[in-house]
Amino acid sequence: MSAYDEFQRRSVEAPEDFWAEQAKLIDWQTPPTRILDTSRPPFVDWFPGATINLCHNAIDRHLPARGRQAALIFVSTETGVERSYSFDELHAEVQRTAAVLQALGVGKGDRVLIYMPMIPEAAFTMLACARIGAIHCVVFGGFASGSLASRIDDATPKLIVSADAGSRGGKVLAYKPLLDEAIRLARHEPDAVLLFDRQLAAMDLTDGRDHLAAPLLERHRDARVPCTWLESTEISYTIYTSGTTGKPKGVQRDTGGYAVALAASMKHIFDGRAGETYFSTSDIGWVVGHSYIVYGPLIAGMASIMYEGLPTQGLDQQPDGGIWWQLVEKYKVSVMFSAPTAIRVLKKQDPALLKKYDLSSLRALFLAGEPLDEPTARWIADGLGVPIIDNYWQTESGWPIITIANGVEKKPSKFGSPGVPMYGYKVRILHESTGEELTRPNEKGVVVVEGPTPPGFMQTIWKDDRRFVDTYWKTVPGKMVYSTFDWGIRDEDGYFYILGRTDDVINVAGHRLGTREIEECISGHAGVAEVAVVGVADSLKGQVAMAFVVPKDGAALADDGAARQLEGEVMKRVADELGALARPARVRFVSALPKTRSGKLLRRAIQAVCEQRDPGDLTTMDDPAALEQIRQLS
């Protein structure tokens, strides 16, 4: 048995011993005496009784040895700001922010919703929440008012923290009007709104509710805010993600388990060492940003780069198309994390840009969020000359489920496969309808995880234990296992291949979106009778959303002008309510949608037809002409 296989075997057969050892990677106020409690499956309590603080582990514990070392490096090619914060400086910034949060009435267990661009103040706010035991709920800045409003209602935050604007490709995107509209739409009203003013867009302030951050921070310049020790099982944060229904799920994470999981992953998977620099190109609005821009690298004593801007040259010739590699050279990045989509974008540029900078500090590039296609993997592997490590995971898991743990034992990657199950995970492939385990190589089934789930894995859905159990743990007949909602196969060497989602979730440029949310938004247009949204393969973005709409008025079917107008309105509605990210690539008008005789929409058949694949068994279909119409339009 290889060293990694042995490591993995021990992690699942003797989880107490295994995780007790990993727990030593972090600082506890009360160290764990019990490792896990599985008395209420599928819920798991990790390190019950122990007490800990995430911010202490990310900052304070490093101060004696590396107070003056860089902790957070902020680079914006949008505003031209570049600034490095040492652990000492980060400590001061986070305490100031924590004092402001407290002055605005935020205490332990209160929710703070963060709707911010990629600026250091976003990381300060997250860490400040962790410091005082408040629960942060970061909402991706690319989401618009409708999405934001539903998250405000679910999280019921005491405070919302935001900024005047973000910027992308030189285009300023004002956040404040979107936030005001979201608060207007929401049923819940926050007590206060804290606003960072970057001087990019004017802000209308609401008296008594809105507070500018600068004067408050100045007032608390020298604040000393001690860490509030939390029980390991208390909540660190929630983060919303899409699923099968239109209502987003608040993925809830604990504190101690998460800290241990991240520290262990930094060592065994990312092989990142204290004093080095980590660069993840993700956004703090996504789980990768939580785990591998903010908490993971800092817990490991690494400097983390936070980058605001495009990866390639925009219309205004900014930035340099080799900006990421320039940062690798300048800050001697040893570990980098990005998404396949970004690499496909870079691939369109002059390949010489990859050779222009000294990349000798870089040991590996990790890619996640969507399937990594072989041509992209080969191109970047050849260009960088370092291992490219595909890693498969989800918002729910918080850290990789399937990849290669080169920090434990070097193992070759295989193109097209993220690798093997990580320590702590019992990954199985089950037959979709019988639930039988598929053990022969290359049999396709649903990828599931058997409990107990490892540290760092979601605890539950915020305020909805029942939905957590029903959504994730009851999909396979006769077995209580966690469904990833991904199809997969395993080859004869035990390497897994992920073949796409089993549900209505799509992946556009590495961003996870629910087609149901988009459908609900489009159905709200007065001219729409019915709609189906599916994800269709796209060579650059992985997938794009396609909407098939049955209009109320036949004009959009008969007349090109009317169709174009309705298409424009539908697209605008989605962009305004959900965000540009969710806007369908195309809207097509049809007289009927393909359904089963019992009225169920045949999304998979629509998707197959759009991708010129065989739609499979259609014997239950009510109206074959409807699918034919879609075939002709796609």
Pick the closest to residue 547 from 575, 589, 576 (CA basis). Answer: 589
Question: Which CB atom, from 190 or from 418, has the smaller least distance to ligand PRX?
Answer: 418
* Binding of residue 120 to ligand PRX (CB under 6 A): no
* Binding of residue 393 to ligand PRX (CB under 6 A): yes
CB of 497 to ligand PRX, least distance (A): 9
**Residue carrying structure tokens 């959303």:** 545
> Which SS3 state, helix, strand or coil, does residue 339 take?
coil
Burial annotation 457-493 (CB, 10 A radius, 16+ → b, else e): bbbbbbebeebbbebbbebbeebebbbbbbbbbbeee
Question: Which CB atom, from 178 or from 458, has the smaller least distance to ligand PRX?
Answer: 458
Binding residue (CB under 6 A) for ligand PRX from 288, 508, 544, 574: 288
Interface pattern 511-540 for ligand PRX (x via CB under 6 A): -x----------------------------
- Which CA distances in Å does 537 have to 299, 338, 367, 627? 38, 20, 19, 18
Binding residue (CB under 6 A) for ligand PRX from 414, 501, 552, 604: 501
Question: Which CB atom, from 243 or from 321, has the smaller least distance to ligand PRX?
Answer: 243
Cα 634 to Cα 625: distance, rounded to the nearest angstrom: 14
* Binding of residue 252 to ligand PRX (CB under 6 A): no
Cα 124 to Cα 163: distance, rounded to the nearest angstrom: 13
Ramachandran angles phi, psi of 88, nearest 5°: -60, -45
Question: Which CB atom, from 51 or from 507, has the smaller least distance to ligand PRX?
Answer: 507
* Neighbouring-strand partners of residue 27: none
Pick the closest to residue 572 from 632, 614, 521, 512 (CA basis). Answer: 521
Question: Which of positions 407-426 make contact with ligand PRX (CB under 6 A)?
Answer: 418
* Binding of residue 471 to ligand PRX (CB under 6 A): no
CB of 400 to ligand PRX, least distance (A): 8
CB of 403 to ligand PRX, least distance (A): 8
Binding residue (CB under 6 A) for ligand PRX from 484, 543, 607, 629: 484
Question: Which CB atom, from 230 or from 288, has the smaller least distance to ligand PRX?
Answer: 288
Burial annotation 579-604 (CB, 10 A radius, 16+ → b, else e): bebbbbeebbbbebbbbeeeeebbbe
- Which CA distances in Å does 519 have to 389, 501, 553? 35, 18, 18
Cα 314 to Cα 438: distance, rounded to the nearest angstrom: 48
Yes or no: say if 25 and 57 are a contact pair by the CB < 8 Å rule: no
CB of 394 to ligand PRX, least distance (A): 4
- Amino acid sitting at position 34: R
* Binding of residue 53 to ligand PRX (CB under 6 A): no
* Binding of residue 164 to ligand PRX (CB under 6 A): no
CB of 112 to ligand PRX, least distance (A): 22
Question: Which CB atom, from 129 or from 239, has the smaller least distance to ligand PRX?
Answer: 239
Q: How far is CA 36 from the centre of its chain?
A: 26
* Binding of residue 237 to ligand PRX (CB under 6 A): no
Question: Which of positions 329-388 make contact with ligand PRX (CB under 6 A)?
Answer: 368-371
CB of 542 to ligand PRX, least distance (A): 9
CB of 330 to ligand PRX, least distance (A): 26
* Binding of residue 455 to ligand PRX (CB under 6 A): no
Binding residue (CB under 6 A) for ligand PRX from 129, 287, 306, 429: 287
Question: Which CB atom, from 213 or from 481, has the smaller least distance to ligand PRX?
Answer: 481
Cβ neighbours, 10 Å, residue 312: 18
Cα 446 to Cα 437: distance, rounded to the nearest angstrom: 10
Size of the site for ligand PRX (CB under 6 A): 20
Residues engaged in binding ligand PRX (CB under 6 A): 241, 287-288, 368-371, 390-395, 418, 484, 486, 498, 501, 507, 512
